[in-house]
Structure 1
Amino acid sequence: MTRKIAVVAAGLSDPSSTRMLADKLVQAVFAELDARGVEREARVFELRDVAHDITNNLLTGFAPKALAEMNDYVAGADALIAVTPIFSTSYSGLFKSWLDALDREALDGTPVLLGATAGTARHSLAIDYAMRPLFTYLHAEPVSTGVFAASSDWGAEADSVAPLQKRIDRAARELADRLAGSAGAAKADPFAPESYLAGGSSFEDLLTNLPTRG
């Protein structure tokens, strides 16, 4: 079964470091899935291409064709890679506006790899205090590792302690594990009747077999 990955980049310039990071993330995820023998495909969407459509959708409640096709692909994808520039300590307004134009249930249970870019590493925590709560609110399932890239991560003086590629590879492994099924099995509901007794006994059996007091 082919795994579909939607990739959304919210960079405003062309080219942009946001798109560069998105490309590196999807390449790393592809490499991990290939190593696991999992078929995959991906589509990369740049929000700058549908910025006017997003505004029109917010104003009218109807999504123009290009935005509707993008949102349909995202809703039907097995995973999402979402990358935004950080402005004023948080995700961009365009990025948030797109999520506001997306169906509220589109990301239910979808594993998401979060990425962000900014000019300085001072914004590196934005993934955890801004992006992660947002996607959790949408009932998506962000992987543990988010990937932040500052301007210094692209140059010759890249961080020697946790270089960008190392962070990318770790996040890609986590998303690939989810897509391959090795880490994405649904957790058992502890309140389901079958969970009260080992061996899958039903709640009715539990009541029937309760010890009686003499």
Structure 2
Amino acid sequence: MSRTLVVVSAGLSSPSSTRLLGDRLAQAAARETGAAIEVVELRDLATDIANNLVTGFPSPKLGDAVETVTRADGLIVVTPIFNASYSGLFKSFFDVIEAGSLQGKPVLIAATAGTARHSLALEFALRPLFAYLRADVMPTAVFAASEDWGASDGPDGDLTARIERAAGELAAAVSGRPAAPAVADEDEFVPFDQQLARLGITSSR
């Protein structure tokens, strides 16, 4: 069964350094796993996310995006850093995902900003968020400041080296778990007893 890596990008511009970082991480991980890559661009869902927060009901487009994320074998989540934390759009998207949907799912966290001063946001904002969601957060987080693009060295090595290390961790985590099940046919009938059994409940008649 093929595996799928999903990039969730909260970049606001086009082209976006946030999307570029997500693409590079996904390509590096896919080389090791052979997984297919899908991308969820949150800027295209901004209105749908806001409406969902107010009404409690997702649009078909947002519902498809949530389904893509929750069924992924591994996630790469990338946000620009605003005011020392993830963007509101990024947080709002994960607020509309049902609790428990990301439990145990391998997640690689990454971020971009204009200056390296924001790099600690990965540790004090993104990592606690996905730990709370009970995801399996990779040890290496990747931050890219403006000066990192094209740089060959730095205190933690160049950006390419960080990407390869983080992608290797994600690839190992994805390869070590069963592939996500295929989407069931919407018309498939599942008897009520079987539905209860899947929840560990024994029916009585």
Correspondence for 1:127: 122
Superposed CA RMSD in Å reads 1.3
**Separation in 2, partners of 1:158, 1:128:** 24
Following TM superposition, by how much is the alpha carbon of 1:158 offset from its aligned partner in structure 2, in angstroms? Answer: 4.9
Identity of aligned residues (%): 55
Residue 2 of structure 1, CA deviation: 1.0
In the other structure, the counterpart of 2:82 is 87
CA 1:158–1:123: 2 relative to 1, 3 Å: farther
Alpha carbons 1:152, 1:158 under 8 Å: kept? no
Deviation at 1:22, TM superposition (A): 0.5
- Return the offset for 1:103: 1.2
Larger RCO: 1 or 2 (CA < 8 Å, sep 6+): 2
1:107: which partner in 2?
A: 102
Uncovered stretches (5+) of structure 2, i.e. residues with no partner: 179-205
1:202 matched to which residue of 2? none
Q: Does 1:20 align with 2:20?
A: yes
Counterpart of 2:56 (choices 52, 61, 77) is 61
1:180 Cα deviation from its structure 2 partner: 1.4
1:179 aligned partner: 174
The 3-state SS of whatever aligns with 1:12 is: coil
Which residue does the alignment assign to 2:4?
Answer: 4
Q: Distance in 1 between matches of 2:55 and 2:14?
A: 28
* Higher-Rg member (1/2): 1
* Alignment equivalent of 1:96, drawn from 88, 91, 94: 91
How big is the shift at 1:179? 1.3
Please give the alpha-carbon distance, in whole angstroms, between the structure 1 residues aligned to 2:9 and 2:130: 15
Whichever residue aligns with residue 91 of structure 1, its letter is Y
For residue 7 of structure 1, report the CA deviation from its aligned partner: 0.9
Q: Which residue of 2 aligns with 1:44?
A: 39
Is 1:154 aligned to 2:144, yes or no? Answer: no
Q: How big is the shift at 1:159?
A: 3.7
Does the 8 Å CA contact 1:108/1:140 hold for their aligned counterparts? yes
| CA distance, structure 2, for counterparts of residue 32 and residue 91 of structure 1 | 29
Q: Which residue of 2 aligns with 1:76?
A: 71
- Give the C-alpha shift of residue 46 in structure 1: 0.7
Conserved? CA contact 2:6–2:69, under 8 Å: yes
Measure the CA separation in 1 of the matches of 2:74 and 2:154: 30
- Paired residues of 2:9 and 2:22 also in contact (CA < 8 A): yes
SS at match of 1:122: helix
- For the residue of structure 1 that corresponds to 2:14, the secondary structure is coil
Output one character per residue of 1:110-160: Cα deviation in whole Å (capped at 9) or x when no partner: 0100000000001111111110000000011110000000000114x4544
SS in 2 for 1:148: strand
Taking the aligned partners of 1:158 and 1:46, their CA distance within structure 2 comes to: 29
The question of whether the paired residues in 2 share the 8 Å contact of 1:152 and 1:159 is answered with no
Give the structure 2 partner of residue 196 of structure 1.
none
- Uncovered stretches (5+) of structure 1, i.e. residues with no partner: 34-38, 186-214
